[in-house]
Structure 1
Amino acid sequence: MPKSNEKINAPKSHVFLSGAIAGLFSRLVIAPLDVVKIRLQLQPHGTGTLKDAVVDGPTYRGIIHTMRTILRQEGIRGLWKGNIPAVLLYMTYSPVQFITLKECTLLMQRAAPQIPETPRNLVAGGVAGAAATAATYPLDLLRTRFAAQGSEKVYTSILHAIHHIYAHEGVKGYYRGLDAAIGQIVPYMSIFFCCYEATRSLAIDEFHMPEQSANLLSGGFASTIGKTVVFPFDLVRKRLQVQGPTRQKYVHRNIPAYANMIGAMRDIIKYEGYRGLYKGFTVSLIKAAPLSAVTMWTMEGSLKIMDWIDPRDKGSE
């Protein structure tokens, strides 16, 4: 039977390159949905369906309406705002994530072989997610800020954004919302990798599904479960990423000011209700399944191709 530990036994160079390829392809698939999700998450107060809604900027109502509004006001390029830093993010995040997963898993296998596979995946997934998030966070922040820009540009280029943030916010400006990101990614990656490996093994070993189909199904299912649990942290992260001197220059000009993660979560609940923590949740779920499924499917497929091209002894690096 096919094994589920190819990422662990493969050479590091194969894992790194496969992770980059997986990140690139997954980003190309979900870029417009990503912009829609960010716009919905940043929309303050009501969504236009509530009587007391106060939105200084476009009013978005759902996925289709948001896409139409962006197309009408900003053109087709509006759906791809932030795509360059996002591509760099996805191409660097996945390799760091999978390399860390591999090394953490191998370390635990050597140090504590008695630990069952499920808790081992739980710990390794959380550590991998935290490491990749911290390493690539400035790109994530740039992606959010560019996606939040309306017709009026806040930053004219990536270099301009980097210089502007450093000049007006310092180094810490690149890491606004990192606490919420870590609070989101650690449980998410732990849940994701546990669900992915368990579902993949079940699909292949018990239901005898083709390996590629099992990869797609397991990636989509694991991502959906993980996203549902941690989505409020994702929304808070986006709100914190656009804080600072440019906060009132984005497409929504009355994004509230938040001091930290706890304060942001408290204020969102107070002024927008608990539903406010789940703005953009539907598009996040729609995005999550193809994103993770394509990522894992491409990752597994790339590893096989590279092992065919360069059939070195696995685990030799």
Structure 2
Amino acid sequence: MAGDVAQLKDEGSKRQVAISGAVAGLVSRFVIAPLDVIKIRLQLQVHSMSDPTSIRDLKGPVYRGTLGTLKHILREEGITGLWKGNIPAEAMYLAYGSAQFSAYTYVSQLLASMPYTQHLPGAANSFISGALGGACATTATYPLDLLRTRFAAQGTDRVYASLIASVRDIAEQEGVTGFFRGLSAGVAGIVPYMGLFFASYEGLKPVLAPFDTFGTSDAAAGVLASVMAKTAVYPLDTTRKRLQVQGPTLKRYVHHNIPVYSGVLQTLTHIWRNEGRRGLYRGLTVSLIKAAPASAVTMWTYERVMAALLAMEEALEAT
């Protein structure tokens, strides 16, 4: 294996990697849940703040920025409104974190064992591993992601009575494909995102290592890597959210005038033509704010849990 490939994929057994990734995802999700709800509400808001006519015709609340959205949700829905969709999201993050790190480790080791790829530069290895790992994890957990979005998009009027009811209703009214609306946008976004994230993360770790204090270099590397990757692929994230709420319940969410979209390219084109570039990046600020604690907590927790598991293994072997 190339010597400059970072230790993330070399440390621990597959089980230890899966456990560390799952715990990291679970803890991270709990911390950033309110920011996630705010981001989704902003992404689903179809209007231009500079166009008074657009605002006047808006069917649903008018959210003005991160703080304005936070205050509106607290005032109209209470503090629990900030954790709407948290149950499927927690399940998604738990499964996603485990699948992501496991797939990343497996692909990295596979590339290292193949004669034509074992001498790949560390950045190339990380990009391929991160991209494929992210695609696998996204596909496996996508139904939970869709449920998270739909619950977060609910206002004071509930669309689904419960998580079980939502699964039953979607299965009956939309079929199996209903759980995968927008998957192509998700995969198209996660491949470059995870590739860029892991490549940036592992490139930044040795640079920031000399400034490490109590593991802060891991957190800082995670923050910077996530911000760069998130900004690059954000329009696809907005597209995914718009597609996830399509279907028979489209007009029942907090915004009742979300257009009917039929595919990734059509959605991107429609948003660009009718809402402009700002429409594609609506909610980016809160997304980046979310990315900082999410990535920092994820990577810091992953490294700490892995270190604890390795220490436990050494202790058991010594007895």
TM range (shorter): over 0.9
Report deviation, 1:142: 0.2
Report deviation, 1:116: 1.1
1:156 equivalent in structure 2: 161
Are the aligned partners of 2:9 and 2:108 in contact in 1 as well (CA < 8 Å)?
no
2:129 equivalent among 119, 124, 129: 124
What is the alpha-carbon distance in structure 2 between the residues aligned to residue 55 and residue 91 of structure 1? 36
1:72 equivalent in structure 2: 75
Identity of aligned residues (%): 47
| Residue 168 of structure 1 pairs with residue 169 of structure 2 | no
1:38 equivalent in structure 2: 40
Deviation string 1:38-61 (CA, Å, 9 cap, x unpaired) is 0000001224x4323231000000
Matched letter for residue 43 of structure 1: Q
Matched letter for residue 29 of structure 2: R
1:182 equivalent in structure 2: 187
2:25 equivalent in structure 1: 23
2:202 equivalent among 164, 179, 197: 197
1:288 equivalent in structure 2: 291
Matched letter for residue 78 of structure 2: G
Report deviation, 1:260: 0.5
Provide structure 2 residue ranges, at least 5 long, that are not aligned to the other structure. Answer: none
2:100 equivalent in structure 1: 97
Q: Name the TM-score, length of structure 2 as normaliser.
A: 0.94
What is the alpha-carbon distance in structure 2 between the residues aligned to residue 45 and residue 216 of structure 1? 36
Count of residues paired in the alignment: 309
Q: Cα RMSD between the aligned structures? A: 1.5
Matched letter for residue 290 of structure 1: P
Deviation string 1:52-110 (CA, Å, 9 cap, x unpaired) is 32310000000111011111111111111000001001111011000000000000001
- Worse-matched range after superposition: 241-250 or 305-314: 305-314
Are the aligned partners of 2:134 and 2:194 in contact in 1 as well (CA < 8 Å)?
yes
2:243 equivalent among 232, 237, 240: 240
Are the aligned partners of 2:251 and 2:257 in contact in 1 as well (CA < 8 Å)?
yes
SS at match of 1:154: coil
Are the aligned partners of 2:47 and 2:275 in contact in 1 as well (CA < 8 Å)?
yes
What is the alpha-carbon distance in structure 2 between the residues aligned to residue 9 and residue 190 of structure 1? 20
Are the aligned partners of 1:46 and 1:55 in contact in 2 as well (CA < 8 Å)?
no
| Residue 52 of structure 1 pairs with residue 53 of structure 2 | yes
Matched letter for residue 269 of structure 1: W
Report deviation, 1:308: 1.2
- Worse-matched range after superposition: 210-219 or 166-175: 210-219
